[in-house]
């Protein structure tokens, strides 16, 4: 969801401005191989326009038709697409995928303040992590279908904890927070029952680029296309021009000694150091070492990396295991655009705790994998 932030923010602002209604489609459960996993969302306008993608084009046309009935009766509903066998051709979709998807369609209007989209946008705008609990099915009057509650989380002693809890939602919400995984839970309350979708809401990933040279431009462009929040910093005022970086969220002229004073470094998920000056890279790196940024990328060969780490002395121990230099995956990159792709691919892999291996190699048995290497 975080990576869809820019798309949904723009759509949400348009809905509020025009006072139009919409339907929010959310994947609440998947089985087998599917294009998107639980938590993926898509907005459907009354005239059939989509913001986002759930099925890679497989069932979007049918979702549009299903949304029409939601617009008509203003009632949420759950749709189930089973694409695990050829039988799906019988009811006209002929998807040929190999999974099943359960999708919740919710009516959004100005009268209900576009809930729960308003909670999602507010959390993302204010850089808040939390759990959104949405009632999908219910025969309990206290928990009507479409009811949504957002439970904000804060860090305490390095761990995320919920700032408030609800008797019914407390245990599954904590589970989602700890496991970083969405769940669909059926609760039994006396002789009643409710089905609730628990989804982790996280702000957009944040990238800090130190150095505003020409090769920084494609890095920021790739990051923005992924929905990241991007900050660009340079000690040279002449390089910090909005026309050079029209899409970045933050553009600042900061010298190394001011970095900690003017910027909260721990808010960033990744940093790429690309001033092309060994002196300034060293000055910035000394200050960066006191942060907790998970990914610190360094341009240049391994010898340059080793020189930088040797120069900052004991500070290097603080970032051990978080420095990636040369930054990027080995994809044969030569041009600035290819190098930017390589850098962003590695950042994505590291933050997702993946090794960047080819998917076709992952699917092979070990014996076959060894033969192909």
232, β-bridge pairs: 209, 251
Whole-angstrom distance, CA of residue 155 vs CA of residue 350: 22
User: Mean per-residue pLDDT for 102-120?
Assistant: 90
pLDDT for the residue 88:
45
Higher pLDDT, 94 or 290: 290
- Give the span between the Cα atoms of 291 and 271, in whole angstroms: 11
Torsional sign, CA 334, 338, 339, 342: negative
Cα 282 to the center of its chain, rounded Å: 31
The two three-digit tokens of residue 65, written as one number: 């038709």
- pLDDT bucket at 14, cuts 50 / 70 / 90: confident
Report the distance separating Cα 203 and Cα 5, nearest Å. 8
**SS3 string of 235-261?**
CCHHHCCCCCCCCCCEEEECCHHHHHH
pLDDT at 17: 84
On the question of pLDDT at 113 being above 90, the answer is: no
Quote the CA–CA distance of 77 and 65 in Å, as a whole number. 13
With a pLDDT cut of 70, the percent of the chain lying above it is 90
As beta bridge partners, residue 16 has none
How far is the first Cα of the chain from the last one, in angstroms, to the nearest whole number?
Answer: 36
Strand 295-298 with 270-273, pairing: parallel
Bond prior to 326 in cis (omega within 30° of 0):
yes
- Give pTM, 2 decimals: 0.76
| Backbone dihedral angles phi then psi of residue 20, each to the nearest 5 degrees | -90, 160
- Rounded distance between C-alpha atoms, residue 214 and residue 346, angstroms: 20
Angstrom distances, CA of residue 123 to CA of 176, 267, 271: 16, 15, 23
So what's the pLDDT on residue 83? 77
Separation of alpha carbons 355 and 218, rounded Å: 23
pLDDT band at 112 (very low <50, low <70, confident <90, very high): confident
Helical H runs in 270-328?
A: 278-288, 302-311, 315-318
Tell me, what's the pLDDT at 307? Answer: 94
Q: What are 46's two structure tokens?
A: 């009354």
* SS3 category, 104: strand
Q: Which range has the worst mean pLDDT, 8-12, 17-21, 104-108, 297-301?
A: 8-12
- CA nearest to 117, candidates 230, 248, 20: 20
Residue-wise pLDDT tens digits, 287-317: 999 999 999 999 999 999 999 999 999 999 9
Q: In the block, which residue shows the tokens 């459907």?
A: 44
**What's the mean pLDDT in 102-108?**
93
Cα within 13 Å of Cα(175), Cβ side = 12
d(CA 77, CA 70): 8
116 contacts 132 by C-beta, under 8 angstroms = yes
Mean pLDDT of 26-45: 88
DSSP reduced 3-state for 359: helix
Mean pLDDT over 358-370 rounds to 60
Kindly report, residue by residue over 260-278, the tens digit of the pLDDT.
889 999 989 999 999 999 9
Q: Which pLDDT score is estimated for 89?
A: 47
Rg of the chain over Cα atoms, rounded to whole angstroms, equals 23
The overall average pLDDT reported for the chain is: 86
Summarised one tens digit per residue, pLDDT across range 311-352 is 999 999 999 999 999 999 999 999 999 999 999 999 999 998
Q: Pairing relation of β-strands 22-33 and 41-45?
A: antiparallel
Q: How many CB atoms lie within 10 A of CB 164?
A: 12
Question: Which of helix, strand or coil describes residue 25?
Answer: strand
**pLDDT value at residue 86:** 57
pLDDT exceeds 70 at position 362: no
Q: Which residue has the higher pLDDT, 203 or 132?
A: 132
The pLDDT-based confidence of 92 (bands split at 50, 70, 90) is very low
In 3D space, the residue among 211, 200, 228, 155 whose CA is nearest the CA of residue 336 turns out to be 211
């Amino acid at each position: 969801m975080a990576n869809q932030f820019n798309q949904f923010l723009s759509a949400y602002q348009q809905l509020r401005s025009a006072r139009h209604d919409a339907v929010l489609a959310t994947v609440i459960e998947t089985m087998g191989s599917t294009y998107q996993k639980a938590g993926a969302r898509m907005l459907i306008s009354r005239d059939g326009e989509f913001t986002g993608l759930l099925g890679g084009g497989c069932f979007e046309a049918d979702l549009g038709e299903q949304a029409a009935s939601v617009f008509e009766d203003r009632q949420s509903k759950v749709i189930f697409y089973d694409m695990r066998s050829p039988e799906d051709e019988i009811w006209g979709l002929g998807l040929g995928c190999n999974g099943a998807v359960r999708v919740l369609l919710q009516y959004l209007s100005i009268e209900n303040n576009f809930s729960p989209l308003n909670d999602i946008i507010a959390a993302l705008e204010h850089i808040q992590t939390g759990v959104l609990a949405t009632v999908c099915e219910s025969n309990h009057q206290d928990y009507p279908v479409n009811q949504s509650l957002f439970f904000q989380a804060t860090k305490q002693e390095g761990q995320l904890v919920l700032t408030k809890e609800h008797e019914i939602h407390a245990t599954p919400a904590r589970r989602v927070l700890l496991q970083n995984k969405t769940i669909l839970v059926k609760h039994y309350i006396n002789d009643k029952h409710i089905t609730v979708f628990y989804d982790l809401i996280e702000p957009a990933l944040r990238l800090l680029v130190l150095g505003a040279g020409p090769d920084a431009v494609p890095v920021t462009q790739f990051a923005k296309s992924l929905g990241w929040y991007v900050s660009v910093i340079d000690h040279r005022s002449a390089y910090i021009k909005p026309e050079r970086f029209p899409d970045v969220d933050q553009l600042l002229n900061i010298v190394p000694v001011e970095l900690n004073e003017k910027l909260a470094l721990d808010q960033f998920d990744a940093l790429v150091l690309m001033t092309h000056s060994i002196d300034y890279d060293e000055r910035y790196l000394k200050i960066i070492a006191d942060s907790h940024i998970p990914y610190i990328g360094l341009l240049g060969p391994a010898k340059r990396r080793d020189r930088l780490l040797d120069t900052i002395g004991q500070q290097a121990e603080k970032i051990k295991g978080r420095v990636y230099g040369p930054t990027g995956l080995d994809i044969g990159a030569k041009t600035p655009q290819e190098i930017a792709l390589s850098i962003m691919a590695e950042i994505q892999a590291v933050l997702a705790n993946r090794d960047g291996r080819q998917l076709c190699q992952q699917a092979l048995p070990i014996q076959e994998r060894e033969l192909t290497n």
